[in-house]
Structure 1
């Protein structure tokens, strides 16, 4: 059984004193107070863990500065904004392709028919979540639909799939029973097999949530590892000696996916510029291998 928590709240000045005692260099105390009054102590703590020499005593490595921590935080914030824009392009396209390929062959309400599901339990759970998500929607096309129609109790797939979450969309695709239709969608994005798209969708849902909820990306361990095929039809990576649960493979599939949708996108150029704007940030914090800039995928 755990120990009862007894710590009390402390002032911002006391927080700074603790950081100083642990060896963090803080040249401008007033600025540090302003930062900690804007960004909470434990939100920043996720960024300064990289600077700690001891994870138990939380003593900082010699030369660690508050300024470098803020620079890493700023980089991470800008990276989330850049990434979220890319994810939006991918997400909209995936919804569109699934609607196009599935609806023409399997009808407007295939997602309500368990004959098109590989697992009945997952089908039931997915449909229950879809009903909740649609009921929460205030989009005009959803409210107008319900004003006009009462049966079935959900709108057709071309409306419903626009308002369900990325996680629900991922589960719906994974549980669909027709492999040919799933292959057709995957091929739209330069993927040889639907299992890769299923994996990337699952990972993208997690990555999207990190960006949407302002979660840290740097030095993060992701709970789901994307499938990373060694050979792809389009420009891809050649080396696979990277840590699988870091951000690097996540960004690799995002770049590949984005390139299949918008070949003239500027994501790689913008990412490299972001690194240049924050010279204290090291790509290895994102899981990037030492020769990543030589990879065909990362050449603009």
Structure 2
């Protein structure tokens, strides 16, 4: 594979133009490329290409359109991120409440192997997780104000404080190695199956990291698939070879997860904000139809109708 050599701003502009991209204001484009990173913005080019094998842009595609999609994805990413954070805070609260009530609120009580799954196959994972959590107690005991307060004044850290400094990834892992009866209580809060919630938390953790690092989001596909739901059926999502073509391992699958884990009001606002940003994007992109962007996202064209379907959780 040929080495990728450094290209200055003028060379970056020429590469884009050579592929058929219309750049009306080259100086403005250079400012944007320097500020946002050429290789990041260039990552949005594929949807404007004639085909997967043709590296030329479709007729009429402009740099302004490319940047509009980049800007949309940033706003879309922020919308998703803040809603994933709502769920992160919520699941931390539910887990800490259940475990504190059952095993005790002092870290010496809840950070015991007996508080987790007794399955021998998970014993190493349990011990590793407890080690990670104890390390967080030590580390944050010197810099996290609430943790410091409890250690200095009470000599312990309750779980409802510790969860604030645990990553979503650790919380997801924690749920996966809880005792089945504890998993059930937590899953019942969302009216979800134990294994479905475990899958959802792993996906949400991955999306949280993706959003936090400002990776390209709108056309992201995951290795994990969600189960078929009533939302797939009610929205009459098309199938191919017996499988739904949207809402399985794409961004609409994430929307389905959020539908089941956010409150009705939170979810209505989420869909409104996404729809608003899509409408703005539609007014800025003319070389490709919005249906092509929705397809890349895994969104059915009637995605807004998911708000009308009765939810699974009422807060």
TM-score (ref. length: structure 1): 0.85
Listed as ranges, the matches of 1:19-34 within 5 Å are 19-34=16-31
C-alpha contact (below 8 Å) 2:169/2:205 kept by paired residues: yes
Output the aligned Cα RMSD: 2.8
- Change in 2 beyond 3 A, CA 1:67/1:6: same
Shift of 1:46: 1.7
Aligned to 1:39: 36
Equivalent residue runs for 1:1-300 within 5 Å = 3=1, 6-53=3-50, 55=52, 58-108=55-105, 109=107, 111-115=110-114, 116-117=116-117, 118=119, 119-137=122-140, 138-148=143-153, 155-177=157-179, 179-191=180-192, 193-230=193-230, 239=237, 240-242=244-246, 244-259=248-263, 262=265, 266-279=269-282, 280=285, 281=290, 282-295=293-306
1:215-265 Cα distance to aligned partner (Å, 9 max, x none): 111111223323444489xxx8664441522111111211331126x5685
The answer on whether the counterparts of 1:238 and 1:295 sit within 8 Å (CA) in structure 2 is: no
Q: Which has the higher helix share?
A: 2
Structure 1: which 5+ runs fail to align? Answer: none
CA-to-aligned-CA distance 1:116-157 (integer Å, 9 cap, x gap): 224111112222322344444332111223334667xxx332
Task: Give me the whole-angstrom Cα distance separating, in 1, the residues matched to 2:79 and 2:202.
Answer: 20
Contact kept? 2:268, 2:307, Cα under 8 Å: no
Residues 230 and 238 in structure 1, CA contact (< 8 A), matched pair in contact too: no
- How many residue pairs are counted as aligned between the two chains? 289
Q: Greater shift after overlay, 32-41 or 247-256?
A: 247-256
Aligned pair in 2 of structure 1 residues 220, 231: CA closer, same or farther (>3 Å)?
A: closer
Cα distance in 2, alignment partners of residues 111 and 46 from structure 1: 45
Native 8 Å contact 1:255 1:297 kept in 2: no
CA contact (8 A) 1:80 1:217 kept: yes
Unaligned runs of 5+ in 2: 238-243
